[in-house]
Amino acid sequence: MKIKSFFSHTIEDAIAMARQEWGPDAMLVHSRKAPREARHLGEYEVVFSDGAPGAATGESMLPSDVTPSAAPAGDRIVAEVAALKQQLESMRRTLTKTAFAPAPWLGSTLLGSASLLSEGFGMLTAADISPELAREIVQGAAKRAGISGDESKSETRKLDEQRWQAALREEMCNRCRIQPALGMEQSRQQTVALVGPPGSGKTTTLVKLAVHYGLAARRSVLLLSLDTYRVAAADQLRSYAAILGVGFQVLETVSGLAQVVEENRSKDLILIDTPGLSFRDLEDHTDLARFLSTRSDIDRHLVLSSSMKSADLSRVIDSYEIFRPQRLLFTRIDETGSFGSLFNETARTEKPLSFFATGQRIPEDLETASQARLIDPILGGLPEEVISAA
């Protein structure tokens, strides 16, 4: 731990001097008007620690004749904030150490490689990948990269970073299927239903799909809405259909849907919008779920917001299993930087990902799903130490 005072005519200048000398890790401990005897050095004094563990608190740095309560209010606040910052920093260090501590299952014989593996485990769990899955991935990657549990010299050899990264990536890719397609393979006509909770982005995404896979591909399109649950809910889609100049029908009943699908066998693409159902509502729509889930010609995509919390996402996916969705379609990709929970669900359900909605713009904000889009941000967090440890 090192402590040093910096003096200047403004607090900002003094802070800039400290940062220049000690770099971004230096921490502000205290700032105040310089004591009279030090005024010739500058009007203000800021005290910095070098950020090493065990640095003094703001309070202990105050000279005995200037207690925090005697200092001007502004300075006191700065000192308190600095002390809080320091506490947070020390908590962060402790947490990081705990997260990256070699887990027992890594094996005590892995020596040099153990830190590499535990760093990988820490990185995956920090990206919200569940500990069980992270453990499976790291163990699989260790095997793939040639680290075994027995005590041979090969375990302690330097693992090349690219090999370790590639092994991790491959393990992750093996748990994430991608099928950016519409319709069932066996049928010429593509009949697609989007199901999912309210507000997940079904209607918006349906219109994007109609443009990209219907109009742009010069294919005949029919939009159907079963969303009669909320007043005027189907009007949104009706307006889009009118703008795009494609056929549109609202259906009140499941038998009506079956009939319309049958009557429109000549259409290339039929897109079915469904009401957003909450947990409670799902029970009242078992007929729709039964109908869709038993139609082998209807491709069912479960539309989910990627900004949902992990536990909620699992719960929603499980409750929508009554529709037996074949694929998962994630929206609001633009609103999240962490894809761990998406990855958890893809791996857990083994359902392929179809498309990613990346914003509100219609039709621009739609992408075909890809492993790189999901996995790169997770692996992108591989810390520098791992690279040098490898």
Ligand X SMILES: Nc1nc2c(ncn2[C@@H]2O[C@H](COP(=O)(O)OP(=O)(O)O)[C@@H](O)[C@H]2O)c(=O)[nH]1
Three-state secondary structure along the chain? CCEEEEEECCHHHHHHHHHHHHCCCCEEEEEEECCHHHHHHCCEEEEEECCCCCCCCHHHHCCCCCCCCCCCHHHHHHHHHHHHHHHHHHHHHHHHHHHHCCCHHHCHHHCHHHHHHHHHHHHHHHCCCCHHHHHHHHHHHHHHCCCCCCCCHHHHCCCCHHHHHHHHHHHHHCCCCECCCCCCCCCCCEEEEEECCCCCCHHHHHHHHHHHHHHCCCCCEEEEECCCCCCCCCHHHHHHHHHHCCEEEECCCHHHHHHHHHHCCCCCEEEEECCCCCHHHHHHHHHHHHHHHHCCCEEEEEEEECCCCHHHHHHHHHHHHHHCCCEEEEECHHHCCCCHHHHHHHHHHCCCEEEEECCCCCCCCEEECCHHHHHHHHHCCCCHHHHHHC
- When the beta carbons of 202 and 332 are compared against Mg ion, the nearer one is 202
Residue 329 touches ligand X, criterion: CB under 6 A: no
SS3 71: coil
Report the partner that residue 357 touches, choosing among ligand X, Mg ion, none (CB closer than 5 to 8 A by kind): ligand X
| Residue among 115, 125, 190, 331 that touches ligand X (CB under 6 A) | 331
Site mask for ligand X (CB under 6 A), range 168-207, x = bound: ----------------------------x-xxxxxxx---
Residue 357 touches ligand X, criterion: CB under 6 A: yes
Q: How far is the CB of 199 from ligand X (least distance, A)?
A: 5
Report the partner that residue 125 touches, choosing among Mg ion, ligand X, none (CB closer than 5 to 8 A by kind): none
Q: Are strands 298-305 and 190-195 parallel, antiparallel or unpaired?
A: parallel
Q: Which residues in the 201-230 window bind ligand X by CB under 6 A?
A: 201-204
Dihedral, CA atoms, 192, 193, 197, 200, nearest 10 degrees? 30
Report the partner that residue 318 touches, choosing among ligand X, Mg ion, none (CB closer than 5 to 8 A by kind): none
| Residue among 169, 267, 327, 332 that touches ligand X (CB under 6 A) | 332
Q: How far is the CB of 380 from ligand X (least distance, A)?
A: 21
Q: How far is the CB of 228 from Mg ion (least distance, A)?
A: 11
| Residue among 161, 334, 379, 383 that touches ligand X (CB under 6 A) | 334
Site mask for Mg ion (CB under 5 A), range 195-234, x = bound: -------xx-------------------------------
Residue 305 touches Mg ion, criterion: CB under 5 A: no
Q: How far is the CB of 321 from Mg ion (least distance, A)?
A: 21
Q: How far is the CB of 357 from ligand X (least distance, A)?
A: 3
Q: How many chain residues interact with ligand X (CB under 6 A)?
A: 18
Report the partner that residue 358 touches, choosing among ligand X, Mg ion, none (CB closer than 5 to 8 A by kind): ligand X
What is the side-by-side order of every strand in the sheet holding 353-357? 247-250, 221-225, 269-273, 190-195, 298-305, 327-331, 353-357, 366-368
Q: Which residues in the 285-304 window bind Mg ion by CB under 5 A?
A: none
Site mask for ligand X (CB under 6 A), range 263-292, x = bound: -------------x----------------
- When the beta carbons of 7 and 229 are compared against ligand X, the nearer one is 229
Report the interface residues with ligand X, using CB under 6 A.
196, 198-204, 276, 331-332, 334-335, 357-360, 365
Q: What residues line the site for Mg ion (CB under 5 A)? A: 202-203
